[in-house]
Structure formats: structure tokens, C-alpha cells
Amino acid sequence: GLLINYNGSYYTITEFFARPSRKKKKKGPRVSGGERDFLADGEIGSWSLVLDHCNGLLLIDDDSEYGSDGRPVLHALNPATRRRARVPPCPPLRIEMMANIFQEEYLAYDPAVSPHYQVFSFPYFVSPAYSSSGSGDEVDYSAIEQSEWPPAKFTLQGFSSATGRWEERSFVRQGEAAGTVADMRRYCCDRRNAVYRRGQLYVHCQNFVMR
């Protein structure tokens, strides 16, 4: 079947579309919409959105449970085995004085290599809020907007199911910067694209691809 994300005016929800099972004895190539029979009963109370997928593993949020940062709690879900695991809330990104930055999580999973999976959190830029920092100090947002992105040295948060915790992962940029912080904000969209191939995670970060 197909898992399809629908973007509504106030919420986004994932629906599952598939041929009805043979047990229902329906004739013709009918399609069942909105079914969630690949989930075990009572596994997740009111899950709403598939955030990412990788080699049969789904990363979903559970809008019935929220972390201290106000974001829905994440779960790694295997529809084939109907097993799930709670992913602890991701620590905040260490990017100072950056206005309106959010985080998006992506899966890295290859069952042929290991039964464990990893989740990486990437920054996502939206329109800046040119306002006071709240500390009484003047913040030069124009300088921040013109700073290069990604920086020469970059730190991401990564979660491993082997350890059960988030850890900082440091990366060094190869080549020149893709642009500036202001450039990133011009490419805001709801599309989420990532591919995990041969041990490398490729993520579409608004106007460039990060590996």
C-alpha cells in the first residue's frame, strides 16, 4: 500500500491506502483509504504523521504525548513486525542567536547491516523574526542572516537505538558554503526528502543536499 501525507489548513495527517485484504471477500480492484490495520491495536493512541521512512522502518510522531519542548514524542515503528520504540526528545540545537530555527528528524537504517537504527536532527529555517532577543541586548540580525551556511564546523544531534540516547556528532564541511542563512529561508517548503544509501545519509536541506 501507500502512506500519503495530507497537508491541511490546521494539521497534517498520514493515511494508508491499500487493496482490501482477501478476508473481506470484496470483488474488484477496490482501494481502502485511511485504514491503519498494519498497526497493532492499542500500540499508539492517536498517531498522526509519518515523518520519515527508511528500509521499511517508519518514524512517526504521537500527538497524544508531548515532550518538555512542546513537540510530539517520536516513535520508530516497523509495520511488518508491528513493533515500536519510543525515541527520547532531541536536545535543542546549539545555534546561538538564530531566529526561527526548527528541527527535523531523519532515519538511517539498514537491516542487512545492523538491527539498530539512527535518527539525525537537522535544522530547518523559516522566516526570521526581527525582534528583541529578550535579554535587553541589541542583536545584529543582518549579520546573522549573511553568515555562511553550513558553517565550516557543524554539530548535529544523533540518536542511536544501540545506546538509547542522543549524542552530538561533529562534522567538517567539504568545499565552499552552499549559501547564507538568508538563502536558506528563501527555500522554505513542506517537502521532506532523504535517502540512506551505502552507509551515507543524504538530506535535502531546503536549497542544497547535505551528506
Strand partners, 125: 101
Q: What's at 143, amino acid-wise? A: A
Residue 135 is predicted with a pLDDT of 47
Confidence bin at 163 (pLDDT 50/70/90): very high
Residue 165 is predicted with a pLDDT of 94
| Cβ pair 79, 38 in contact under 8 A | yes
| Cβ pair 207, 187 in contact under 8 A | yes
Residue 133 is predicted with a pLDDT of 45
More confident residue, 79 or 53: 53
For residue range 165-207, what is the model confidence (pLDDT) as tens digits?
Answer: 999 999 999 989 988 888 888 776 666 789 999 899 999 888 7
pTM: 0.79
Among 195, 118, 99, residue whose Cα is nearest residue 156:
118
